[in-house]
Amino acid sequence: MKQKFSDMYWINISDGDIPILALIEHTNFVPKEWYQGKHLMYVANYLPQDHKYFKMNKDEIFAEILPHLKKVNPQFDPAVIEEIYLSQDLYAQPVVPLHYSAVKPTFETPIQNVILANMALTYPEDRGTNFAVDVGNKAALLVDPAVQIPVFKE
C-alpha cells in the first residue's frame, strides 16, 4: 500500500460477522525502507477446507472483505492499495485429536535418509515460528550431530 492502514502491528478480530481473523501490518514492525517505503499488511484467516474463499480469486475475496476493512478503519481508502497477493494453504495448522500424544509422529520415517520435520511435531505447543525453529534445530541435529545451534539471548 502507499500508506499504512493503522498504527498497529497486529489487530486480532473476534467479531464473527467480519471474515477476517487478523490484520498484520508488517511494516509497522520493521522499517518501511525495507519495503521501499511501501506498507505491507496481511489479511489473515483460518478457514475450513470447503470454505467458499478456496474457490474464489483474489479480486472476488477482496470485494467481500473490503467493507469489513472499512469497519475496522472507516478512513481506509482502497485507492492506496498497489498490489494484492493471495496465499492459501489447505493445511496451515494441524488440528490435533484427543490423545494426540499417543499417535504423534516422530522424526523417523520408513524411508532411508528421510526425516519428518513439520508443524505436527510442535505439539503440545501451538503452531508458532519459535516452535517450528525448535523442530528444525532438532531435525538438523539428527542429520548431523555436529551442527552448531545458535543460542539467542535477549
- Return per-residue pLDDT of the chain as tens, 154 residues: 999 999 999 999 999 899 999 999 989 988 878 889 899 999 999 888 899 999 999 999 999 999 999 999 999 999 999 999 999 987 777 778 899 999 999 999 999 999 999 888 999 988 777 888 899 999 999 999 998 888 766 6
Question: Within a 10 A sphere around the Cβ of 144, how many other Cβ atoms?
Answer: 8
Angle of CA points 68, 54, 74, to nearest 5°: 10
Element holding 113 (H helix, E strand):
none
115 beta partners = 108
pTM strictly above 0.75 = no
Angle of CA points 148, 154, 37, to nearest 5°: 100
